[in-house]
Amino acid sequence: MTAVRSLDHRTAPGPAGARPTDESTELSDNERAYRHLRREIIEGRYEQGERIIESRVANALAVSRTPVREAVRRLETEGLVTTEHNRGAQVRVLTETEVGDLYEARARLEGFLSELAAQRADAHDVEAIATAAEHFEHTVAAVDPESVEGLRKVMAANDQFHAALVSAGRADQLYRVLTSTVDMPLVFAAFERYSPEELHRSAMFHHLIAGAVAARQPERAGRLMTEHILQGRDAAMRRLRLDPNRTPIEEGTHE
């Protein structure tokens, strides 16, 4: 495959629903490869343990192997893939215990984050958090959680809520720790299996957390968030036990 791209670069600098806060630049190939692979893995389109062939990914994105390799290094550091010398990368396989531990670690980190948010939020932050909680509730009620788009919308709304907390907590560094650490795979795996009641319960927790932040009660905010995440863990692990082999979200052959 030889460079059929050239124009991709110029088209669409990314005017979509981009947050007005920061990025509007056109993505580097590296970044595109990273996001692509991340999504493929998170949404289950790679098997657990499946090998990631650099040249295939490169072809699929019409780039060379170089940016793909760099993306793989990032994913490796995030823990989404493992690598062996001269044998490339494969999607990480997590045991049930590991999944549980990671959820619990996440619960503590997000609990801490929520405490910070409750301490540091200004009026604008409080507003944003409440809005996000509202938005999540609407989304959950409106979309079909079985469809890919529905799922993605729910996830996006969920991210928005957490992002509002991060912003309120002035904790960008923590955010990196959270997202860049076997965080997403769990989230998606969880939502993939969430029942309507569970989604509903999440929406309720979001509201409660928003309330605790607005009331400047760090401990309660932290406790609620911790419990919220642990609820997610339990739901996810119930499903994991029922169906240990996750099924892909979409067809999307990465062949």
Partner DNA sequence: ATGGGGCAGGGTGCATACAATCTCTGCTGC
Partner DNA sequence: GCAGCAGAGATTGTATGCACCCTGCCCCAT
The contact set with DNA (CB under 7 A) reads 2-3, 5, 28-30, 51-56, 58, 63-67, 69-70, 83-89
The SS3 call for residue 255 is: coil
Nearer to DNA, 29 or 183 (CB): 29
- The CB-of-78 to DNA minimum distance in angstroms stands at 17
Q: Which of the choices a copy of itself, DNA, none does residue 63 contact, using the CB cut-off of 5 to 8 A by kind? A: DNA
Task: By CB under 8 A, name the one of 48, 59, 131, 180 that touches a copy of itself.
Answer: 180
Residues 6+ apart with CB under 8 A from 84: none
Q: Does 66 bind a copy of itself (CB under 8 A)?
A: yes
Sign of the alpha-carbon torsion through 181, 188, 205, 149:
positive
Q: Does 73 bind a copy of itself (CB under 8 A)?
A: yes
Contacts (CB under 8 A) with a copy of itself, residues 106-125:
108-109, 111-112, 116
**Residue 88 · residue 50 · CB < 8 Å:** no
CA dist 6 → 23, 27, 59, 212, 239 (Å): 22, 14, 14, 51, 45
* Residue 88 β-bridge partners: 84
State the angle between helix axes of 123-142 and 148-169 in degrees (0 to 180), rounded to the nearest 10.
170
Q: Does 101 bind a copy of itself (CB under 8 A)?
A: yes
CA dist 91 → 30, 58, 101, 212 (Å): 19, 17, 19, 39
- The CB-of-69 to DNA minimum distance in angstroms stands at 6
DSSP label at residue 143:
S
- The CB-of-5 to DNA minimum distance in angstroms stands at 6
Nearer to DNA, 68 or 151 (CB): 68
Residues touching a copy of itself: how many (CB under 8 A)?
36
Enumerate binding residues for a copy of itself (CB under 8 A): 25, 28, 30, 66, 69-71, 73-74, 76-79, 85, 94, 97-98, 101-102, 104-105, 108-109, 111-112, 116, 170-174, 176-177, 180-182
